[in-house]
Amino acid sequence: MIYLDNAATTKTLPEVVEAMLPFFMENYGNPSALYASGIAGKKAVNQARRDVAEVIGAKPEEIYFTSGGTEADNWALTGVVESYRQKGRHIITTKIEHAAILRTCEALERKGVEVTYLDVDEEGVIDLGQLEAAIRPDTILISIMFANNEIGTLEPVAKIGRLARKRGVLFHTDAVQAFGQIPICAEELGVDLLSASAHKLNGPKGVGILYIRTGIKLGASFHGGGQERNRRAGTENVPGIVGFGRAALWALHTMEQRAAAEKRLREYLIERIEAEIPCCRLNGHREKRLPNNVNFSFMQVEGEALLVMLDMKGICASGGSACTSGTANASHVLRAIGLKEDEARGSLRLTPSWENTKEEMDVVVDHLKQIVAKLRRLTSALPSTE
Ligand SMILES: *Cc1c(COP(=O)(O)O)cnc(C)c1O
């Protein structure tokens, strides 16, 4: 198997699993308890909080553990709407956010919140002028992702942060794809709220964080037993949190080498695909993109057929986001960067990890060439449907 879907999820590192195990088997006491086994859990959670905080240059007390990126995104948006009611009910976001943001915005709209969805250019970057023009006296939040999960484009987060500060508007960023992959300093970037998720950086599934900058008013996510300083009740997922902490430390210390290795694979894939497969288009920004993201559209190719045929060769890839595959709709991200319906449907996302090799990329491109040619022969042999 050649796994090239690391933007959807990653392998849990053996050392991460090992760090988690004692908190299932021995130190399984409730971290709120006063006996040794509970105290060990509490200590481990607080160590993990320090380790996760370090990745974004935050203070440990600004880190709140959640059940993942989706919960963190939901909490950031609904929490601001609740806590800043007196100021207004207007949110600014983009057309290319993850479903965790877009579906939450839609739910808030049904409750009377107004949402502006910013356009992006053909490379997936927002326009700062358009953002500034969209800010109103009743704007309570700007929520713009750090890096797009489908096309890998990096948004101008530092500039957005500066603008948000200048205009007195809170700034949330969904950094699930960027956290632990590229350097982030929340304070320097002017970020007030930030979401991340462990399973995108070789940690376990079902655990994430919302970073809440000191001084930001934000209502509780869950009400209950007072965990996470009264902001997110529920007995802590101690093994998951410990795994996140270990994965975060590891990600921080290996970031440079991993990014360099992934960039080499990315550039090699892009170079070979562009040179050897006709009628294709690279989606996303050529330089301002995640180190491991490759996204192509192939004209006259049905993306789902492509994925099934790659799978038959043992290659795991994706058509866009995992959340949109399985449905016939073209990706909202690819539509937002100007692709036509059929171009958007013929797209392929390859997200290798540092562990993949150049030889594997050769195998992938060789198969891809043949599959694309075969699918195009089939398409042209079909009678026209018009
Ligand atoms: C994966 C992902 C999420 C969702 O995170 P989960 O932990 O799977 O809930 C949110 N936003 C982005 C950009 C993602 O890539």
From the CB of 240, is ligand 1 less than 6 Å away?
Answer: no
What would the pLDDT profile of 91-100 be if each residue is shown by its tens digit? 999 999 999 9
Among 157, 207, 149, smallest CA distance to 6 is for: 149
Taking a C-beta distance cutoff of 8 angstroms, is the pair 57, 211 a contact? no
Mutate to test the pocket of ligand 1, among 197, 289, 318, 351 (most ligand atoms within 8 A of CB): 197
Statement: residue 366 has pLDDT above 90: yes
What would the pLDDT profile of 161-209 be if each residue is shown by its tens digit? 999 999 999 999 999 999 999 999 999 999 999 999 999 999 999 999 9
Statement: residue 254 has pLDDT above 90: yes
Distance CA 209, CA 199 (A): 12
Give me the mean pLDDT over the 126-139 stretch. 98
Q: Which atom of ligand 1 is nearest to the CA of 8?
A: 1
Cα-based distances in Å from 54 to 45, 111, 232, 251, 339: 14, 37, 21, 11, 39
pLDDT of residue 64: 98
pLDDT of residue 321: 45
Sequence-ordered strand ranges (E) for 264-380: 280-282, 294-298, 315-316, 347-350
**Which residues are CB-contacts of 39 (< 8 A; sequence separation ≥ 6)?**
29, 31, 33
pLDDT of residue 323: 46
Q: Which atom of ligand 1 is nearest to the CA of 322?
A: 1
Q: Which atom of ligand 1 is nearest to the CA of 199?
A: 7
Which two tokens mark 64? 């709140």
Q: How close is the Cα of 356 to the center of ligand 1, in Å? A: 23
Which residue of the set 185, 279, 280, 323 is catalytic?
323
pLDDT of residue 211: 98
Which two tokens mark 273? 């695909």
Q: In this structure, how many other beta carbons lie within 10 angstroms of the beta carbon of residue 196?
A: 32
